[in-house]
């Protein structure tokens, strides 16, 4: 039998105990699902007429798809801006100049500490006062997501670069690279692979946080699914919540799959296609160091 260094193989009693715990867990999950089902059934939430709106094309074209596009538009713009914000301020926090490092640290720590909902409210009510009337819902959601998630990504960038062994940068400096070349060509390409899981996790958080636009009436998937759609089809709140929840799960899974594909592709693209150089033989060593090689010594003899 093959053994693992991570854990001991369970014995007969342990296997029986594990099987028993598995059965108990399945029964508990089944009981919870049955409780939820009977509760919805008592409220007539499984009736076909409540779910009929989601079988109509107009429900998707007039409500769900516009809300989905609003969510993707806000998430896409905020993700790009947050990545740029995180890269700039993360690298700024690594600067050797105190006048750059300290203000960047203050900005990052400030926006990390402020709740995202408070940021969105602040921008939503500040901009009309400064710039006059207008629809600032989209701007408030995007800027709030950028400032908060960008500050978190800045710490991810800083930690990712610092996770690279110092020997990498020392070797780059030894061959005459400048500091910006070391960062751009040596440290960042390796750090991106190490940072990818944390970046993906934060982008998933950003995508879900677009739902906070519901508070300021931004037209997104949650707003359409929880406010406008149930108002148009009375009694469809629970079905709408289930459908919208499934769409959010699908979006997050698609984002995670895309990030996994990008990470694998980046790993393959950095693999060298040049075969390793063979160590020099005695004759080559002799010629390279000015010392006569084996052939030269034989000729001299």
For 133-162, give the DSSP string: SS--HHHHHHHHHHHHHHHHHHHHHHHHHH
Q: Is residue 213 part of a domain?
A: yes
Do residues 206 and 156 make contact, with C-beta atoms less than 8 angstroms apart? Answer: no
Q: Is residue 212 part of a domain?
A: yes
What number is the average pLDDT over the span 184-195? Answer: 81
Q: Is residue 288 part of a domain?
A: no
DSSP 36-75: HHHHHHHTTTT-HHHHGGGGSHHHIIIIIHHHHHHHHHHH
- Say what the pLDDT of residue 29 is: 95
Q: Is residue 44 part of a domain?
A: no
Q: For residue 191, give its domain range.
A: 53-267
Do residues 19 and 25 make contact, with C-beta atoms less than 8 angstroms apart? Answer: no
- Say what the pLDDT of residue 107 is: 93
Distance CA 157, CA 84 (A): 11
Nearby residues of 94 by Cβ (< 8 Å), 6 or more positions away: 101, 158, 161, 162
Q: Is residue 196 part of a domain?
A: yes
Q: Is residue 285 part of a domain?
A: no
Nearby residues of 267 by Cβ (< 8 Å), 6 or more positions away: 193
72 or 297, higher pLDDT? 72
Q: What is the CATH number of the domain that holds 131?
A: 1.10.3720.10
Kindly report which listed range (148-152, 204-208, 288-292) carries the lowest average pLDDT score.
288-292
Tell me the pTM: 0.73
**pLDDT tens per residue, range 77-136:** 999 999 999 999 998 998 888 899 899 999 999 999 999 999 999 999 888 888 877 778
Dihedral angle computed from the Cα positions of residues 181, 186, 192 and 193, in that order, rounded to the nearest 10 degrees: 170
Q: Is residue 286 part of a domain?
A: no
**pLDDT tens per residue, range 17-69:** 999 999 999 999 999 999 988 887 777 777 777 777 778 888 888 888 888 99
Enter the tokens of residue 116: 């995202």
CB neighbours (10 Å) of residue 43?
12
Number of domains in the chain: 1
Distance CA 26, CA 21 (A): 9
Q: Is residue 27 part of a domain?
A: no
Indicate if the pLDDT at residue 285 is higher than 60. Answer: no
Residues in the chain, how many?
Answer: 301
């Amino acid at each position: 039998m093959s053994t693992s260094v991570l854990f001991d193989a369970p014995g007969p009693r342990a296997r029986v105990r594990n099987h028993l715990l598995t059965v108990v867990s399945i029964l508990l999950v089944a009981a919870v699902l049955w409780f939820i089902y009977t509760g919805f059934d008592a409220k007539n939430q499984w009736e076909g007429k409540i779910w009929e709106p989601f079988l109509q094309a107009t429900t998707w074209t007039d409500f769900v798809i516009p809300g989905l596009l609003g969510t993707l538009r806000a998430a896409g713009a905020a993700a790009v801006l947050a990545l740029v914000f995180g890269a700039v301020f993360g690298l700024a926090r690594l600067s050797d100049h105190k006048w750059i490092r300290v203000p960047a640290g203050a900005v990052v720590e400030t926006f990390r500490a402020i709740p995202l909902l408070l940021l969105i409210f602040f921008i939503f009510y500040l901009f009309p006062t400064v710039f006059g009337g207008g629809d600032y819902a989209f701007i408030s959601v995007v800027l709030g997501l950028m400032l908060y998630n960008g500050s978190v990504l800045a710490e991810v960038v800083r930690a990712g670069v610092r996770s690279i062994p110092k020997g990498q940068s020392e070797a780059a400096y030894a061959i005459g690279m400048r500091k910006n070349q070391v960062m751009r060509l040596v440290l960042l390409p390796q750090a991106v692979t190490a940072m990818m899981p944390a970046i993906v996790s934060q982008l998933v958080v950003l995508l879900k946080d677009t739902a906070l636009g519901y508070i300021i009436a931004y037209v997104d998937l949650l707003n359409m699914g929880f406010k406008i759609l149930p108002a148009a089809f009375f009694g469809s709140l629970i079905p709408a919540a289930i459908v919208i929840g499934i769409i959010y799960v699908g979006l997050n899974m698609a984002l995670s799959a895309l990030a996994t594909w990008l990470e694998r592709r980046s790993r393959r693209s950095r693999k060298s296609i040049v075969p390793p150089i063979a160590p020099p033989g005695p004759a080559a060593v002799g010629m390279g160091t000015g010392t006569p090689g084996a052939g030269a010594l034989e000729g001299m003899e």
